[in-house]
């Protein structure tokens, strides 16, 4: 039973009034401003902190606890987490599916982090994967399957980020690879994410996941071109590229009402321009005045756009 269904049941049973039902339903469906995003972020940080604390404890006390004890604890946590998710799941759908409970997403995320920690411990102690690249690829595949099965954007972000780490680790074995080639590969990876997201969107497979693919892909491309404008043999070419891409990101963000892309385009473009400007100024006072004036202008512009989006919604 989903949260919306529980609210409807409470309303029909007289536990809550019609007004209370409407207010709570609006919060559940994110139709009203609330602290949902902030609290969710804090809870996800809490989940990461718990897993990080476990990893730190196991690292420092592995000799005292022993491999069998640590593996048993990890497997128990893994079984409890995924057992909870698979026993309370809702049927799969290509459309967006509401989470069956308020804690479901956090338990799923916790289970994914424990799964990654388990693979990492096995590789550290026994080396059965013969390298961290296999561990990362396996984790990315599992996270991707779980993200689509349980309709979770955070887990999908974790899957795509882990896949990026796998690609980066595979490339690191080539010591002669240049930073410029790494930037090109980052741009290609970003374009790959955008392409995959758009294809799945066109196939009507979890269309609401498109935003995740676009955000990660856009960040990969903009970050690579921004660093290319700061160092390397093609400074002017990368500067032109990042400014064009930043303008496209801002334009599409305004058109489709996606403030995140407006912010990405503004901040990456500002970073590239600022680096080149400060490099030309070479004056502490001039640099300070530049940051005071332009930084304030950028912040004010973003605040105005954000407030406009909020009023229109």
Q: What is the pLDDT of residues 217-244, one digit of tens each?
A: 999 999 999 999 888 788 899 999 999 9
The tens digit of pLDDT for each residue in 23-59 reads 666 656 555 444 444 445 555 555 566 666 666 666 6
Residues 157 and 188 in one domain: no
Give the tokens for residue 10. Answer: 């409470």
Residues 138 and 187 in one domain: no
Alpha helices in 153-209 (DSSP H): 153-171, 179-202
Residues 25 and 95 in one domain: yes
* Buried/exposed code over 140-175 (b: 16+ C-beta within 10 A; e: otherwise): bebbbebbbebbbebbbbbbbebbbbbbebeeeeee
Final residue before a domain boundary, out of 140, 171, 202: 171
Question: How many structural domains is the chain composed of?
Answer: 2
Residues 131 and 266 in one domain: no
Residues 186 and 229 in one domain: yes
The tens digit of pLDDT for each residue in 82-103 reads 999 998 877 888 998 888 877 8
Share the mean pLDDT of the chain: 81
Residues 21 and 148 in one domain: yes
Residues 127 and 151 in one domain: yes
CA 180 to chain centre: 25
Supply the pTM of this predicted model: 0.77
Residues 144 and 17 in one domain: yes
Residues 140 and 83 in one domain: yes
Alpha helices in the chain (DSSP H): 3-13, 18-28, 36-60, 62-65, 67-87, 104-126, 132-150, 153-171, 179-202, 210-228, 235-255, 259-281, 284-312
Final residue before a domain boundary, out of 141, 171, 201: 171
Final residue before a domain boundary, out of 137, 171, 205: 171
Q: What are phi and psi of 88, to 5 degrees?
A: -120, 20
Domain region containing 273 = 178-313
């Amino acid at each position: 039973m989903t949260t919306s269904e529980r609210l409807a049941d409470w309303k029909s049973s007289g536990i809550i009034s019609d007004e209370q039902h409407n207010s709570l339903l609006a919060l559940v469906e994110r139709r009203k401003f609330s602290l949902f995003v902030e609290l969710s972020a804090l809870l996800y940080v809490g989940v990461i902190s718990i897993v990080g604390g476990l990893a730190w404890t196991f690292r420092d006390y592995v000799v005292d606890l022993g491999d069998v004890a640590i593996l048993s604890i990890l497997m128990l946590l893994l079984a409890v987490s995924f057992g909870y998710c698979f026993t309370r799941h809702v049927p799969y759908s290509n459309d967006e599916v509401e989470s069956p409970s308020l804690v479901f997403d956090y338990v799923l995320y916790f289970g994914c982090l424990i799964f990654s920690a388990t693979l990492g411990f096995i590789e550290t102690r026994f080396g059965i994967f013969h390298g961290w690249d296999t561990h990362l690829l396996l984790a990315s595949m599992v996270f991707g399957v779980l993200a689509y099965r349980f309709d979770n954007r955070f887990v999908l972000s974790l899957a795509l980020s882990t896949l990026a780490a796998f690609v980066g680790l595979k490339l690191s074995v080539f010591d002669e690879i240049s930073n410029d080639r790494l930037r090109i590969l980052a741009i290609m990876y970003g374009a790959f994410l955008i392409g995959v997201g758009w294809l799945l969107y066109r196939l009507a497979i979890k269309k609401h996941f498109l935003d995740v693919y676009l955000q990660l892909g856009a960040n990969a491309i903009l970050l690579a071109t921004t660093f290319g404008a700061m160092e390397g043999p093609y400074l002017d070419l990368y500067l032109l590229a990042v400014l064009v891409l930043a303008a496209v990101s801002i334009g599409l963000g305004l058109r489709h009402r996606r403030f995140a892309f407006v912010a990405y385009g503004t901040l990456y473009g500002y970073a590239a321009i600022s680096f080149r400007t400060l490099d030309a100024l070479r004056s502490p006072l001039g640099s300070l005045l530049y940051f005071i004036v332009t930084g304030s202008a950028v912040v004010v512009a973003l605040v105005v756009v954000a407030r406009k989006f909020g009023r229109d919604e």
